């Protein structure tokens, strides 16, 4: 765990953003600022256990003097490789793609509708990471618009309780072969290879993810 120092030379909102984005809370914690002001912070988070959020909140309050509001989303251990990738591929805030979902609860057999925004003149790959940690490339389902890509994904799942899913958009300056899957691949194999290939090629990359639940 790494707790970032507070930089007194920047504004209070920037102090908060820097703390969130530079905080290293272990192998399976991702936090993203949603709304920041002088004395308030609304965050979205992904982690495999509630303890990760509790520890972060305690450190945040100790460093900044107030408790953040966290939209805590619990994922599976098999999805943690996707969370590590999100942390490792943080880019400029203004260039990160945005995923908007019509619903974050999708019944079996229904359709997940949404858009990817802030595309600009970049290649965007749309990935689905299941609760079992299997990654699929669904980019063929996206339809282009003006700086936006729309998608409709028919969802299928076996009977059982609702399970956490992650939808990820990866934006790159040029196409990356490692992202173009022909079949589902385990997340802990897929994401390290993508990161290694893009770093070796010097490719600029940013990624965003949204959580949703699939089930009854």
Length of the chain: 216
pLDDT digits (tens, 9 = 90+) for 190-214: 999 999 999 898 888 999 999 999 9
The pLDDT score that the predictor gives to residue 121 is 86
Say if CB 158 and CB 49 are below 8 A apart.
no
Model pTM score? 0.92
**DSSP state string for 6-62:** P-TTS-HHHHHHHHHHH-B--TTEEEEEEEEETTEEEEEEEESSHHHHHHHHHHHHH
**Which residue is it, tokens 């282009």?**
144
Residue 20 is encoded by which pair of tokens? 């969130």
| Average pLDDT of the residues in 85-92 | 84
pLDDT digits (tens, 9 = 90+) for 120-175: 889 999 999 999 999 999 999 999 988 799 999 998 766 678 899 999 999 998 89
The pLDDT score that the predictor gives to residue 7 is 84
The pLDDT score that the predictor gives to residue 109 is 85
Share of the chain above pLDDT 70, in %: 96
Residue 77 has pLDDT above 90, yes or no: yes
The pLDDT score that the predictor gives to residue 9 is 87
The pLDDT score that the predictor gives to residue 94 is 59
Q: Provide the pLDDT confidence category of residue 8 given band limits of 50, 70 and 90.
A: confident
């Amino acid at each position: 765990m790494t707790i970032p120092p507070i930089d007194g030379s920047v504004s209070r909102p920037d102090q908060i953003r820097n703390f969130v984005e530079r905080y290293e809370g272990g192998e399976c914690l991702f936090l993203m600022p949603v709304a920041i002001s002088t004395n308030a912070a609304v965050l979205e988070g992904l982690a495999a256990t509630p303890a990760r959020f509790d520890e972060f909140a305690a450190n945040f309050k100790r460093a900044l003097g107030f408790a953040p509001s966290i939209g805590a989303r619990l994922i599976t251990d098999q999805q943690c490789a996707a969370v590590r990738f999100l942390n490792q591929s943080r880019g400029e805030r203004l260039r990160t793609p945005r995923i908007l979902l019509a619903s974050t609860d999708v019944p079996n057999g229904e359709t997940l509708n949404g858009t990817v925004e802030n595309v600009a003149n970049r290649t965007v790959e749309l990935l689905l990471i299941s609760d079992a940690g299997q990654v699929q490339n669904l980019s063929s389902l996206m339809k282009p618009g003006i700086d936006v890509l729309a998608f409709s994904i028919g969802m299928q799942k076996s009977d059982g309780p609702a399970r956490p899913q992650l939808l990820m958009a990866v934006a790159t300056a040029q196409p990356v072969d490692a992202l173009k899957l022909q079949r589902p691949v385990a997340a802990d194999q897929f994401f390290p290879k993508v990161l290694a290939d893009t770093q070796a090629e010097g490719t600029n990359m940013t990624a965003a993810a949204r959580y949703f639940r699939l089930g009854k």
